[in-house]
Amino acid sequence: MTGKTHASCGVLVGALTTQYFHTDLFSSVTIIIIATIASLLPDICHTQSKIGRRFKVISFFIRLFIGHRTFTHSILFIILIASLLHLIYTPIYYMAAVIAGLASHIILDMLTPKGVKLLYPLPFDIKSPITFKTGGLLDLSLATALTIGAVYVLFQTYIDDIMNYWNIRLF
């Protein structure tokens, strides 16, 4: 998946997290930003990724020692990050945003032909039975659909009011 697809999914899971926890405006904005960054974080192992270009030296060494789509794309990585957040007493809604962002990235990468090493350090590549090429039309379509979903979740009340005013039924 491209960085745009991962970021749009991060915005969506962040928006869903704000809805679940009924957070205030400041916390909601923070949650969406955190989820978006977390949705890009597993690609720190790739020097040409959106996050890898921002942290070139760290990205280079992670790729050199660990490789691409291995540790940072595993359940072990999510558990490690969740444990660190728990140790520093991170509020549950921020922790949920980080975990959901990381998980969204891994799930999306499982939709690619290469898959991910979800059970790292075990050497198995795990991928979805249905896969599609990174950067292709389906990838762009997915990014668009995720963005539309995020906008709907964020502005659901207003959209529903407009629909009710015009007597339009979506479902």
Structural domain range at position 73: 3-170
- Spatial CB neighbours of 105, under 8 Å, sequence gap ≥ 6: 1, 6, 9, 10, 38, 39, 40, 41, 42, 43, 73
Q: What is the pLDDT of residue 131?
A: 87
How far does the chain reach from its first CA to its final CA, in angstroms?
Answer: 30
Q: What's the rounded Cα separation, in Å, for the pair 29 and 23?
A: 9
Contact 12/146 with Cβ under 8 angstroms?
yes
pLDDT in tens, 99-140: 999 999 999 999 998 889 999 888 889 999 988 888 888 889
Q: pTM of the full predicted structure?
A: 0.87
Mean pLDDT score of the chain: 90
Distance CA 169, CA 171 (A): 6
Domain tally, the chain: 1
Peptide bond before 113: cis, by omega within 30 degrees of 0?
no
